[in-house]
Amino acid sequence: MKYVKIAAGISFALSFFCISLVFSNSSFTYSYNNQLKLSFIFFGAIAFVLNLISYEQDRKGSALYNLFFWLGSSVLFLGLISKIMHFPLTNILIIGGLIISGFSFVLSKTSVGKQKKDSDLIDQL
C-alpha cells in the first residue's frame, strides 16, 4: 500500500503541474493547451482513485474529516474540469470545493485537541 500512496502523490503532482501550466497563459503552453488539459484530467483521476484505494489503510484522521476532505476534493476536481470545458457556474464549484476542503482541515485541528494529553500517556506506562 505504500507504493500506491507514492504513485498517487506523483500523479497528483503531475496533475497540479499540468493545470498550473494551463492557467499560466504563456506562449509555450498555448500550443499544448489541449494536451495539458487532458493530462490534468488523466493524472488527477488516477491520483483520486489511488487515494481512494489506499484510504482503508490510512486511518490518521477521523471519519468526519475524511468525509469532508474527499467531498471537497471531489467538488474541486469537478470544478476544475468544468472550468477547462468552459461550463457555466464553475467558480461556484471551485470555491465550494475549497471551502469544504478547508473545513475538513479545521475539523482535523479540533479532533487533535480531543486526543489524550501527553501526561496521560506517561501515566499509562
The pLDDT of residue 24 = 81
Cβ pair 41, 88 in contact under 8 A: no
The total number of structural domains in the chain stands at: 2
Query: Which element (helix H / strand E) includes 116?
Result: none
Q: Is residue 45 part of a domain?
A: yes
Largest CA distance in the chain: 64
The pLDDT of residue 123 = 53
pTM of the predicted model as reported, rounded to 2 decimal places: 0.61
Q: What is the pLDDT along the chain (125 residues), one digit of tens a residue?
A: 678 878 888 888 898 888 888 878 776 667 788 888 889 889 988 888 887 777 665 555 567 777 787 888 888 888 888 988 888 888 899 899 889 888 887 876 666 555 555 555 555 55
The pLDDT of residue 59 = 56
Could you say which DSSP state residue 115 is in? S
Q: Is residue 86 part of a domain?
A: yes
* Same domain as 13, residue 52: yes
Q: Is residue 84 part of a domain?
A: yes
Nearest to 29 by CA among 69, 121, 37: 37
* Same domain as 85, residue 33: no
* Same domain as 26, residue 76: no
Report how far apart, in Å, the C-alpha atoms of 88 and of each of 39, 67, 80 are: 22, 27, 12
Residue 16: give the domain boundaries.
1-58
